[in-house]
Chains A and B, each alone.
Chain A
Amino acid sequence: MENLIALLVAAPLVGAALLLCGGKRLDRTGHWIGTLLAVASFAVAVVLFVDMLGKGAEHRALHQHLFSWIPVGGFRADLAFQLDQLSMTFVLLITGVGSLIHIYSIGYMEHDERRRRFFGYLNLFLAAMLLLVLADNYLLLYVGWEGVGLASYLLIGFWQHKPSAATAAKKAFLVNRVGDMGLSIAIMLMFTTFGTFAFGPVLTATGGASEGKLTAIGLMLLLAACGKSAQVPLQSWLGDAMEGPTPVSALIHAATMVTAGVYLITRSGAIFNAAPDAQTAVVAVGAVTLLFGAIVGCAKDDIKKALAGSTMSQIGYMVLAAGLGPIGYAFAIMHLVTHGFFKAGLFLGAGSVMHGMNEEVDMRRYGGLRTYMPVTFVTFGLGYLAIIGFPGLSGFFSKDKIIEAAFARGGTEGWILGGAALLGAAITAFYMTRVMLMTFFGEKRWDPKEVHPHESPKVMTIPMIVLAVGSVFAGGLFSAGDSFVRWLEPVTSFAHGHSPVSAGAVTAATMVVLVIGVGIAWLMYGRKAIPATAPRGSLLTRAARRDLLQDDFNHVVLVRGGAHLTRTLVYLDHSLVDGAVNGTAASMGGLSSRLRKLQTGFVRSYAVQMLGGAAVLVAATLLMRGV
């Protein structure tokens, strides 16, 4: 069975190679090849999953060792896979949602002349993402980690004739590289501490390491997670990443890649469990980001950017849960999976709306679309209900558990985190209702002469329907008999939190804030007409539109400061370093005058002088030695 693991990665990898090197002759079949291989990978995943269910909980992990990758001295990195319950969860999510989005893209990218390449990149992404979650050591994980970064770069910048897309792609890669520095340093720290960076040995040996070392490793891993998962302070790239085609936003920038940070923290649970300070940093990042993203999501008029803010915020919830330790890991992953369903569905819905609206993204130019796109409306609506935590739908179960766990952290911290999570839930309800109302309700704010909204073809709506079904039922299914927690427990371990607030009270509070959020949004956007141009807004609104000024800060400090620095250095390199070396040489032996002579052609005289100089030096040395 374990020999099938490599096949999971190999199928989409072969697809990427075929589509990217195959040339024009694959233009007509390329998208089918890509989709087929994605589905093949999903099929293998299902086979492995069924096999895994047939085994006892403690004996489910599989290993596949391919070959020794980098052996140098005590440094040993292997190309080896590990498939346990945590990886399995991800593999199913990645290949499942991935396959659906491949199918959707057949329709969405139908008129793009570079569709073959698009599917090549999508397959490349699947391969890298699967490598990330299947690696059995941190260095191999790193390969997947940067591999998904590359795929993300290529896909954000897919329409690279648009300067904005090219810039956004570059920004995403660069910000992620800052995070990657953290992962590099974490691996180096593991190597010097444990002499290895394979999951098994490192995670069993944490007891022997000092808390300081483990805290350092934990903080570096957190830095990496911040980059990949767009958490404060490395969140600035995600909004711009919406420049990519919408299926990309759904798959990479909502359902899978951006959640890799949560995977990393959960996978490294043993390290964080033994480093409370690092955990505090994780929960702080999670709590800040869940509010940050939610606030940004409230102010955006671009439907994709509003959803991007939401993604950031929801991942904030997951990071927060992961930072809580064994009381939160399972819930972080559970929310990750349900979020994968409803957020991918929401993005595909947004794509469907854009498809029908001549690629318009400004929600102020939507309105009243529910009758024109009934399937999109219903599926998007179900995703909406799921994300705001409507009772009985997926988000209700997974988010509720995280809020409860946040209170269970205990003490003042518990109240702060729980409060933040509750506040986030209220804002979520607000901004999602806003999106819903602006898009599907109210009066038409588009010109019927220019725009002809229509429902998308089946190849696009069917994936949306499947995801909507997941958004509705996944949460309940996972919660029934705590099945999801028990499934993950052997890997992530689980502890019951002791919340100062009863579970019933938390649920009640969540319901109250939900109603408040929806209510305010209805008062602001449902009852009143929406102006076609955005009103000036309060100071906070204006800041939120500009991503809470993060980009302005980056621009002034990093971009402009960096430009000054490099320009100064270029000048100094020429005038100072070059000049100093040349000058020293000149003062020592009149080199500059020789330089001039040489340039006018006195090569021979120079050679003679050189030989003479050499002879003198030789003589001097010999004399000094007294030989």
Chain B
Amino acid sequence: MSFPLLTATAAVPAIGAIATAAVPAAKRTAAKWLALLFSLATLALAVLIAVRFDPGAKESFQLTESHAWIRDFGVRYDLGVDGIAVALIALTAVLIPFVILAGWHDADPLEGAEPNRRWRPTQGFFALILAVEAMVVLSFEATDVFLFYIFFEAMLIPMYFLIGGFGDRAGGRGEQQAAAQRSYAAVKFLLYNLVGGLIMLAAVIGLYAATADQLGAGTFSLTQIVEARASGALTLGTGTERLLFLGFFFAFAVKAPLWPLHTWLPNAMGEATSPVAVLITAVVDKVGTFAMLRFCLQLFPEASSWATPVILVLALISIVYGALLAVGQRDIKRLIAYASISHFGFIILGIFAMTSQGQGGATLYMVNHGISTAALMLVAGFLISRRGSRLIADFGGVQKVAPILAGTFLIGGLATLSLPGLAPFVSEFLVLVGTFSRYPVIGIIATVGIVLAALYVLVLYQRTMTGPVKAEVSKMPDLKARELVVVAPLIALLLFLGVYPKPLTDIVNPAVQHTLTVVDKTDPKPSVKVDAVPGSGRHGQTAQTQDVEAAK
């Protein structure tokens, strides 16, 4: 048996979580370094996955591991990755070290607080982050529907405590009120996602029942079910398939989040500390869109096509609505949260456009949005912690006193508005073109999003960074070394993937083609046949001249 690389990639952060939690109360700094170390080890393993993964291979899942788990119900411990999963595992593993570094002091006990020998918030904070990482990685790896469901739900628990237990310093609000708002946000997050999960559980069991009914032995295995459906061994009635699809989709749409199920996100991202907000939107939420691609589309291809029009409209609403609300926000973190809602609209649009550009773009979008939001949100966090306020109106003229902070904030913002040359442009354009080629009107309306994105980003930048220096920010220090270490690599990644996204597209493309084959969709063909002579400008000019001559 070969080395269980996939299990290891999840086990390392899980062990790290336990180890970090066990560090004695007095050794806070040791706990931080330990957590960082484990997250880096996970990153190394994720890189190993990417290296060992062969994009050209025929199998839809690679590096597979398979063990029986609950025999009576056919639940198996089945892991495997396709290109999409590899990309998202890499994203997760890359982001977590930055999340840990950025949150280095977020869970320090308040100055002057009584030392408490049993209460170890710092250890808890970093342990919870690693626990989330482990669950997220496992959800990307699981190819058994039930196994996926377990991790999909289990990650709510550490997330709940991360949102409810740690927040920004209260600033203007009283400590009491801040705690109340935090706990409201945490509960709202938990309830929305639990309800989604519950409905999904019903659908999971329904699916099992169908397999048990028709295949002799019930199974949760994605590959088996997909094969059985393709061969006709497993047929679902139209009504049943649609119900099951909706059950799955609902859970993922809450997580993603899709309008109108989005309202938990601004609360959660607003109240949580910035690194946790990044964890939510850049990592955890991606499981939702990922699962749409892997489970909704592959398990229920017909129902997916059936629901497509409605989902596309909801995604379109998310794009425009999220952007408009971002424009109207007065709180920096909530603004970024609404921007994310708009971006998730793009991702879902790309997935359900059912073209290789749409889905390839959506996968890239998940990765790029993760990086760009992390950059923007983490710098926003540095900014907020310096001023003790999240309100846009409390800032002004920061550019003058902290030019590096302002510069990195601007780059994060430019990535958010998908400036060409930075990674998000590639994915956004692919999603748009992929959507447009099948649904021109929807594609055109979605491009309005690029104008609105410019609006909310530049208004945010103008109000916080430019103009006369406000008295309260006049002493604001520029980015420190630790903060630069967080931001600089993220910016470098944004630039690299904007100029040379090929390593990513090479990994993702085959998986997207596989998904499209399962749902039985092919890309629309161009209406005019063109001789493929890339870069032959001169032919163009000659013909142009001839045209003109002919016209005379």
Contact = CB atoms under 8 A, between A and B. Distances in A.
Q: Are A and B genuine complex partners?
A: yes
Interface of A: 20, 58, 61, 63, 65, 67-76, 78-80, 82, 84, 136, 139, 142-143, 145-147, 150, 153, 157, 160-163, 165-167, 170, 173-174, 177-178, 180-181, 184-185, 187-189, 191-196, 198-210, 213, 269-270, 273-274, 325-326, 489-493, 495, 562, 565-567, 569-570, 573, 577-578, 580-582, 585, 591, 594-595, 598-599, 610, 613-614, 617-618, 620-622, 625, 627
Given A565-B324, A618-B202, A160 B466 contact: yes
Nearest to B467: A163
Interface of B: 180, 183-184, 187-188, 190-192, 194-195, 198, 201-202, 205-206, 209-210, 212-213, 259-263, 321, 324-325, 327-329, 355-357, 360-361, 397, 399-400, 407, 414, 419-421, 425-426, 429-430, 432-433, 436-437, 440, 443-444, 447-448, 450-451, 454-455, 458-459, 462, 465-469, 499-502, 505, 509, 512-513, 523-545, 547-548, 551-552
B526 A202 contact: no
A75 B462 contact: no
Given A205-B530, A598-B187, A627-B209, A185 B325 contact: no
Contact of A163 (B356, B468, B538): B468
> 5 shortest A-B CB distances, which residue pairs?
A73-B356, A195-B526, A566-B328, A203-B540, A166-B466
A184 B466 contact: no
B524 to A, nearest CB: 7
A269 B187 contact: no
Given A73-B355, A273-B547, A193 B421 contact: no
A490 B539 CA distance: 11
Given A270-B543, A599-B184, A194 B526 contact: yes
B167 to A, nearest CB: 15
Contacts of B534: 65, 76, 78, 80, 196, 198, 200-201
B540 A200 contact: yes
Contacts of B530: 194-196, 201-202, 204-205, 208
B277 to A, nearest CB: 19
Given A143-B421, A184-B450, A192-B526, A203 B543 contact: yes
A204 B541 CA distance: 7
Nearest to B396: A163
Contacts of A181: 447-448, 450-451
Contact of B458 (A73, A174, A490): A174
Contacts of B459: 170
Nearest to B459: A170
Contacts of A67: 500, 502
Given A58-B538, A161-B467, A180-B450, 10 more contacts: A70-B501, A73-B357, A84-B537, A185-B443, A196-B530, A200-B539, A489-B545, A581-B263, A595-B188, A625-B206
A82 B535 contact: yes
A144 B544 CA distance: 25
A617 B325 CA distance: 36
A16 to B, nearest CB: 12
Contacts of B524: 192
Given A72-B357, A199-B540, A618-B202, A562 B327 contact: yes
A192 B527 contact: yes
B244 to A, nearest CB: 10
Contacts of B425: 143
Contacts of A270: 540, 543-544, 547
Contact of B509 (A73, A202, A213, A567): A73
Nearest to A209: B528
Given A73-B355, A74-B523, A177 B454 contact: yes
Contacts of B541: 61, 84, 203, 490-493
Nearest to B452: A177
Contacts of A139: 429
Given A167-B462, A270-B543, A201 B536 contact: yes
Nearest to A85: B541
14 contacts: A69-B501, A70-B501, A75-B430, A160-B466, A161-B467, A163-B468, A198-B535, A201-B531, A209-B527, A566-B325, A569-B321, A577-B259, A581-B192, A598-B187
Given A181-B448, A573-B325, A273 B548 contact: yes
Given A63-B537, A273-B544, A213 B527 contact: yes
A192 B523 CA distance: 10
Contacts of A180: 450
Contacts of A208: 528-530
A200 B194 CA distance: 54
Contacts of B444: 185
A163 B466 contact: yes
B100 to A, nearest CB: 26
Contact of A72 (B198, B209, B400, B505): B505
Contacts of B327: 562, 566
A533 B464 CA distance: 36
A159 to B, nearest CB: 10
Contacts of B533: 200-201
Contact of A177 (B205, B400, B451, B469): B451
A184 B428 CA distance: 11
Contacts of B325: 566, 569-570, 573
B450 A177 contact: yes
B466 A625 contact: no
A438 B294 CA distance: 71
With most chain B CB atoms within 10 A of its CB, the pick from A68, A184, A185 is A184
Given A177-B454, A495-B548, A573-B263, A161 B209 contact: no
Contacts of B195: 585, 591
A151 to B, nearest CB: 11
Given A161-B397, A166-B467, A198-B535, A143 B548 contact: no
B443 to A, nearest CB: 6
Given A185-B447, A493-B541, A577-B263, A73 B209 contact: no
B544 A73 contact: no
A443 to B, nearest CB: 37
